[in-house]
Structure 1
Amino acid sequence: MEPLALEDTLTLKQSAAWKDWEKELPFIHPTELKSASYNLLEFPNLNMKIIVWNVRGANRDEFIPQAMDIIATHKPSNFIVLEAKSNGIRAKNVSKLLGFDGLQFIDPNDTRGGIWILYKPTVKLILYDDDRKNYFHALFKFNPNNKEVLLTGVHAPLTRAVDRHRFWRQIRENLPPDDTPWMMVEDLNEVMSQADKMGGRGFRQSQCKDMRMLVDAACLVDLGYNGNPYTWHNAREGAANIRERLDRALANPSWLNTFPNTMVTHLPRTFSDHNPLLITLFNLHIAGNYPFRCKMAWLDHDEFKDYFVNNWNDGNRDFLAGRANFLNSIKNWNENIFGNIIKHKKRLIAIINGIQLSLSKHFSNFLFQLGKDIIRDLNCIYHAEKIIWAQKAGLDWRKYGDCNTKYFHYFAKFKKSRGRILCLQDNNNNLVDDQFALKELARNYFINIFTSTASLDQKLMKSFSYPKTIDETSLNSIIASPST
């Protein structure tokens, strides 16, 4: 038996408190949830939604009302059922009851597995492949104006670790093209770090080696989550309770470019021992005024030092005036002197192509040297582009200098999508998702925090004790008086 990890000791300390959970969390009847004291928030219907749920058997009668409730609340366009443990006849009947017109399914292997994918007529299924028992590939057209996206549903083998390792290697050997937006929703049946686990044996790096190799090979990123950090538990009490994050959504850079604001929410666990995943695709573009950021690539430009000195510290203005003058003029310098890197790169590549075509017909020493100089300039452009995207990604480009620009671009997209506020709750407990209303709500919130009232100022003034003043004659008499 392996020794307990630091995280496992928390369960020992809290085991006594968990025995009294009924005292801390009394039972609330469903009818009472409609009262003012238990106001349930209704999330706005935003864009497209996908539900992924390991139900541990869809044959049970309790599954239908639970699924209907989730669908009525969140209105998903796709509903993926993992470990259905049911055949196609049951899948067709359930699909009609739940209001889905489209259905694809994978039959279970004896009493294990089985995957259903249900979808609305608003999405179009282009291609479908389920050669394997544990996963499927479905190419969907979510929007007529967007390109096709690949959705992969995975239920990893449960019994033996060697089967999971072989399973991940099979997927890694058949990756989709890089330019295809790809999201993989899955029940890993294993964790990827100690942070994904609470209780039980400690995490070992070797247990997810092949899974991590798949993630690295496909440049997949974990889309994160909102809500409960664990998606599975073993339904035991006290120190025997084990919780793990087995279910997650992974996406490649092309998916992040198409749906940069994809959000994953862990819904409450009610029927199965797994939490359902709600995946919301926010296909929106938010434009606005962004704060000034000094680009590190400017420091490598030959003219930036002279420009900085002349526009900030010319000896005739103070610090604040120099700063204001620099900020007012830097945009014009960035556009006209530093230039658009992408356009400049395309122009240099076109010139290089023309020079090489000309040299293929007759040699010219001038063109040969000019080509070398332009290639040198192009390499400087690539270097500057790498620095810019590394700065946007929040990474040290010197530390990750062997990585290409696409690596930094990928992390910058992910960082931008994770830091965006899409919804807030106002003082009346209403959820606000309009971008202009969000800005006004945030602005008013901080105004209320940092604005003081007159009544408060008067109370503070009265609480202060000011020293009494004396005239010059009294001060002289005090000084002249003998000390005792």
Structure 2
Amino acid sequence: MHYFQPLHEGYFANGFKLMLVPEPPMIIQAWNIRGLGCASHVRALKKDTRYLNSDILFLSETLSPSSKISPILNSLGFFNQCFIPPHGDKKLSGGLCLAWKNGIDLEITFQNNNLINALVFLDPPHSPWMLSAVYGPPHWCSKRQFWENMDLIGNSFSGPWICIGDFNAISNQSEKQGGRPVQNSSPGGLNGFINNNFLLDLGFSGNPFTWTNNRPLSANIKERLDKAYANSQWRFLFPDAAIIHLLGKCSDHLPIVLKTHKTSFLGPKPFRFEAGWTRDPSSHLVVKSAWRQHVAGSVAEILCKKTTLTSSMLRKWNLSHFGHIQSRIKFLTQKLDVIQQQEPTIRNIELEKNIKLAIDEQCKREELLWYQKSRIRWRSEGDLNTKFFHLSTLVRRRRNTIDFIKNSDGAWISKREDIGNCLVINFQQLFLSSNPVFPEDLDGLISPVLSDSDKAALCEIPTMEEIKQTVMHFSSLKARGPNGMPALFNKSYWDTVQDDVSKTIRDFFLYAILTSTVLGFLGSGGGSFRTVTVSSPSWQTAEMASILAFSGSTNFLINLPILLSILTYLAPSFSSSRFLSPLITRTLSSSTCTLIPPDFSPGMSMMNTYEFGYSFTSAGVAAMALASRT
């Protein structure tokens, strides 16, 4: 049983009021059980329900009277029950049951042969959300009226709403395997219902199909009939909610489970630079303070250490000064309400103006925060919408969440530690080298295509201005490096960091030295890296030019993917914009074009090109992949 937590109030040191209103965790189980008269069905129901410790249980096609179902539910702790009896000839069709445990504040508002509708009240703050337990009619003649009723129910309630159960309908071809192709549903069908009510598919974990006709070979048909849809308000209320498909044991339908809260992960949270910080002038003071600290080491090591120190200081500054945007907005709004009810003196009018500006600034910061988290790039920064980006973030997070994973033995793993271990073992085996033997001399394998002038151009050391222009050219909020810093950090604080960033890039082009400290930092502390040291300044002419001319040391080529990915995080790839882009179209042959993604363009960062070749090959093959791609 999940007990509700009390409301707590508190205050920050700076006077802002904090309201902690935890939503009660809840588990809802829905299953088209296809009859409770069978002992095996009852056993499966009891086993799953006790294991899940469900709070609300919805059963469809019970095919049994309430007198037989009620004792079973009582034994499972569901003492609150609502029944729709079976109908049709000999009462052998349909039958619904919605049951819930004590402590769940639930009120039935409507019921018929295809639906049990209820309001679920949160405590606190005792505001309801609507639950529609659905059993879609299997016959076409009844579907139109069913969807019309569902639209009416949706229009009658303006709060959070979720629909769960067996819809007996699919929205697209991806929800069906076998049988006839799916035709677009009519305007009054499932897709029309989803569009009319602006509902979101909550997705699922597990088997992609919840129903099968249990026929063999080509006659077998599988469909995803059991699912859940919710509006954006419900999604905001339960951002971590997830649907899980359980294993099928007896019915031709799989049970589905809705968990409103995922298991908390108490591991360390990585640092992430927030775009909204740049709007606060005091953030510049924090960065300058960190950058003035004396640190020892090589040029690259100094940059890494200063970046780490900056991350630590920004994290503390965010907690003490910048964070808690919602609490600040609420505090300022309450203060504005008080001021507006006072006499309109010159002082109060000026104070009201300043409070409005402060509220507007906090709203802009909130919009920018969710814009960055949403990863949406097709809207301009001036066209922000907090609710839209917040919802986009929730959907993306839910889509990217790994709740279960199937190991090599076919067993499902759900514990976070076990999932992590399984992934580590899998990638260790995946990238384990087979120790292939390569000839030492590969000079004649591919003919050089670059002229001496091209090679000389590639060896030029970038100027400070060229580095700055390239840094400013890159997307501000695109994927950041493992240190949590996107390109926006360098752009916003360039006056402070430019010397160290530029020196590091120029130093590498001169000497090609990356110590283990740098590699460990940029690799986020993971894996074992070799220190790459080339002492001769002539390395560029002998090696860099030979890479694009397809001759020279293959040992360096094997290290190149690591080096280039490292430089991607030190600063954006200036070589792609100044050196490599003009040469790409001349160096790519028809045979190498087959390896290039369709959306590849001369303006694309060559770092991604190198990393692509390295990601899908062993170390030895990577050398050939890199050579053939450039």
Q: The TM-score by the shorter chain falls in which range?
A: 0.5 to 0.7
What letter matches 2:363 in structure 1? Y
Q: Give the one of 351, 366, 378 matched to 2:359.
A: 378
Closer/same/farther in 2, CA of residues 65 and 118 from structure 1, 3 Å limit: farther
Residue 243 of structure 1: aligned partner: 222
Alpha-carbon separation, structure 1, partners of 2:423 and 2:147 = 51
Cα RMSD, aligned residues only: 4.6
Tell me the secondary structure at the aligned position of residue 346 of structure 1: helix
1:99 to partner: Cα distance: 7.5
1:287 aligns with 2:271: no
What letter matches 1:186 in structure 2? G
Residue 345 of structure 1: aligned partner: 329
What letter matches 2:147 in structure 1? H
Tell me the secondary structure at the aligned position of residue 297 of structure 1: helix
What letter matches 1:341 in structure 2? I
Mapping of residues 157-196 of structure 1, within 5 Å: 157-158=137-138, 159-160=140-141, 161-175=143-157, 177-178=159-160, 182-196=161-175
What letter matches 2:276 in structure 1? A
- Alignment identity in percent? 23
1:83 aligns with 2:64: no
Alpha-carbon separation, structure 2, partners of 1:100 and 1:186 = 19
1:74 to partner: Cα distance: 4.6
List alignment gaps of at least 5 residues for structure 1. 1-46, 468-484
1:200 aligns with 2:184: no
Residue 127 of structure 1: aligned partner: 107
1:195 to partner: Cα distance: 2.0
Closer/same/farther in 2, CA of residues 138 and 447 from structure 1, 3 Å limit: same
1:156 to partner: Cα distance: 2.4
1:110 aligns with 2:88: yes
Mapping of residues 454-465 of structure 1, within 5 Å: none
1:334 to partner: Cα distance: 3.0
Say whether the 8 Å CA contact 2:151–2:197 is kept in structure 1: no
1:389 to partner: Cα distance: 1.8
Alpha-carbon separation, structure 1, partners of 2:106 and 2:222 = 38
Say whether the 8 Å CA contact 1:125–1:138 is kept in structure 2: no
Q: Deviations for 1:294-350, whole angstroms, at most 9, x for unmatched residues?
A: 212233444555754664499996422332332232224434554542343234323
List alignment gaps of at least 5 residues for structure 2. 1-24, 442-630
1:241 to partner: Cα distance: 4.4
1:52 aligns with 2:30: yes
Closer/same/farther in 2, CA of residues 129 and 349 from structure 1, 3 Å limit: closer
Alpha-carbon separation, structure 1, partners of 2:411 and 2:206 = 19
Closer/same/farther in 2, CA of residues 376 and 194 from structure 1, 3 Å limit: farther
Q: Deviations for 1:171-204, whole angstroms, at most 9, x for unmatched residues?
A: 21222634xxx54212222222332233423342
1:228 to partner: Cα distance: 1.8
Say whether the 8 Å CA contact 2:205–2:404 is kept in structure 1: no
Tell me the secondary structure at the aligned position of residue 289 of structure 1: coil
Closer/same/farther in 2, CA of residues 434 and 355 from structure 1, 3 Å limit: same
Residue 325 of structure 1: aligned partner: 309
Closer/same/farther in 2, CA of residues 90 and 130 from structure 1, 3 Å limit: farther
Residue 66 of structure 1: aligned partner: 41
TM-score, normalisation: structure 1: 0.65
Alpha-carbon separation, structure 2, partners of 1:413 and 1:146 = 24
1:385 to partner: Cα distance: 0.1
Residue 202 of structure 2: aligned partner: 223
Mapping of residues 459-474 of structure 1, within 5 Å: none
1:153 to partner: Cα distance: 0.7
1:429 to partner: Cα distance: 11
Alpha-carbon separation, structure 2, partners of 1:275 and 1:251 = 20
Closer/same/farther in 2, CA of residues 96 and 65 from structure 1, 3 Å limit: farther
What letter matches 1:376 in structure 2? L
TM-score, normalisation: structure 2: 0.52
Tell me the secondary structure at the aligned position of residue 130 of structure 1: strand
Say whether the 8 Å CA contact 1:172–1:214 is kept in structure 2: no
What letter matches 2:112 in structure 1? R
What letter matches 1:136 in structure 2? I
1:215 to partner: Cα distance: 4.3
Name the stretch that deviates more: 322-331 or 390-399: 390-399
1:140 to partner: Cα distance: 5.5
Tell me the secondary structure at the aligned position of residue 359 of structure 2: helix
Say whether the 8 Å CA contact 1:157–1:163 is kept in structure 2: no
Residue 482 of structure 1: aligned partner: none
1:135 to partner: Cα distance: 1.2
Q: Deviations for 1:91-149, whole angstroms, at most 9, x for unmatched residues?
A: 44664687854431113453553211244x55545422334332113455799999876
Q: Give the one of 329, 334, 340 matched to 1:356.
A: 340
Residue 371 of structure 2: aligned partner: 390
Residue 132 of structure 2: aligned partner: 152
1:252 to partner: Cα distance: 5.0
Residue 296 of structure 1: aligned partner: 275
1:229 to partner: Cα distance: 0.9
Tell me the secondary structure at the aligned position of residue 278 of structure 2: helix
Alpha-carbon separation, structure 1, partners of 2:26 and 2:357 = 47
Closer/same/farther in 2, CA of residues 232 and 311 from structure 1, 3 Å limit: same
What letter matches 2:173 in structure 1? Q
Alpha-carbon separation, structure 1, partners of 2:210 and 2:219 = 17
Q: Deviations for 1:41-70, whole angstroms, at most 9, x for unmatched residues?
A: xxxxxx8654312234x27x4x33223124
Alpha-carbon separation, structure 1, partners of 2:167 and 2:369 = 36
Say whether the 8 Å CA contact 2:173–2:181 is kept in structure 1: no
Tell me the secondary structure at the aligned position of residue 339 of structure 2: helix
Alpha-carbon separation, structure 2, partners of 1:127 and 1:429 = 42
Residue 604 of structure 2: aligned partner: none
Closer/same/farther in 2, CA of residues 324 and 94 from structure 1, 3 Å limit: closer
- Higher relative CO (Cα under 8 Å, sequence separation at least 6) belongs to 1
Say whether the 8 Å CA contact 2:83–2:95 is kept in structure 1: yes
Closer/same/farther in 2, CA of residues 147 and 379 from structure 1, 3 Å limit: closer
Alpha-carbon separation, structure 1, partners of 2:424 and 2:215 = 47
Tell me the secondary structure at the aligned position of residue 227 of structure 1: coil
Tell me the secondary structure at the aligned position of residue 112 of structure 2: coil
Closer/same/farther in 2, CA of residues 403 and 185 from structure 1, 3 Å limit: farther
Closer/same/farther in 2, CA of residues 223 and 411 from structure 1, 3 Å limit: same
What letter matches 2:59 in structure 1? V
Closer/same/farther in 2, CA of residues 98 and 392 from structure 1, 3 Å limit: same
Say whether the 8 Å CA contact 1:258–1:283 is kept in structure 2: no
Alpha-carbon separation, structure 1, partners of 2:283 and 2:408 = 48
Q: Deviations for 1:224-256, whole angstroms, at most 9, x for unmatched residues?
A: 222221222345555554432121023456655
Say whether the 8 Å CA contact 1:154–1:188 is kept in structure 2: yes
Say whether the 8 Å CA contact 1:68–1:98 is kept in structure 2: no
What letter matches 1:378 in structure 2? I
Say whether the 8 Å CA contact 2:194–2:200 is kept in structure 1: no
- The number of residues matched between the two structures is 401
Say whether the 8 Å CA contact 1:341–1:381 is kept in structure 2: yes
Mapping of residues 381-420 of structure 1, within 5 Å: 381-396=362-377, 398=379, 404-416=385-397, 419-420=400-401
